[in-house]
Each structure stands twice: as C-alpha cells, then as structure tokens.
C-alpha cells in the first residue's frame, strides 16, 4: 500500500523553457521598448534592419532578456542577439532560463 502514492512514469524535470514560451516573452520584451513600433514587430524581426533600433537600443533589449529570463548574457553572445529568432533560439536552448 505504501507504493500507491509514488509516480512511476513521471517525466524528468526539464531544464530551461519551451520555444513557444521563449518567443512569447521575447516578443513582449521587444514590444515594450519605447522605440519599437508594435505594428512592425514580427516573429522574424531584425532589431536594426526591421525595427530601426540602434546598438544602444539593442543593448537595452538584451538587458531586458537578462532580467526577464534570469540569465547572464556574455558580450560575445549579446552581439549576436540581433533578431527575434536569434534571441528565442538562445533563450530556449539555455538550460538556466527561467
């Protein structure tokens, strides 16, 4: 009888977050930036080319990712986070993203 409360087929704990959740939250952060026109934001937007942001704006957005997902993003990685897909890919694959 003591075994009835145990879960035999439980799934292993998943590190990180799903791609869908990463996308939703990345889009929320980018949309919240004061210089972003939400009407121009898509799932494939490039921060500079499509949204007209400058490098300082992108740094601010990356800092938003760090805060939102409780991550440290090294400069060499941050330099590559120039679009929604790049940010989503990074966050979804990061094992410590929350």
Cite the active site residues. Answer: 54
Question: Looking up tokens 């704990």, which residue turns up?
Answer: 13
Which neighbouring-strand residues pair with 46?
Answer: 83
The CA-atom distances, in angstroms, between 19 and each of 4, 23, 39, 84 are: 35, 6, 22, 12
């Amino acid at each position: 009888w003591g075994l009835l409360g145990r879960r035999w087929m439980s799934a292993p704990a998943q590190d990180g977050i799903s791609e869908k959740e990463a996308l939703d939250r990345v889009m929320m952060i980018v949309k919240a930036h004061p210089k972003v026109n939400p009407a121009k934001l898509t799932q494939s937007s490039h921060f500079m080319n499509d949204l007209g942001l400058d490098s300082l704006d992108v740094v601010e957005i990356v800092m938003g990712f760090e805060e939102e997902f409780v991550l440290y993003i090294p400069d060499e990685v941050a330099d590559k986070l120039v679009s929604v897909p790049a940010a989503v890919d990074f966050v979804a694959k990061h094992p410590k993203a929350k």
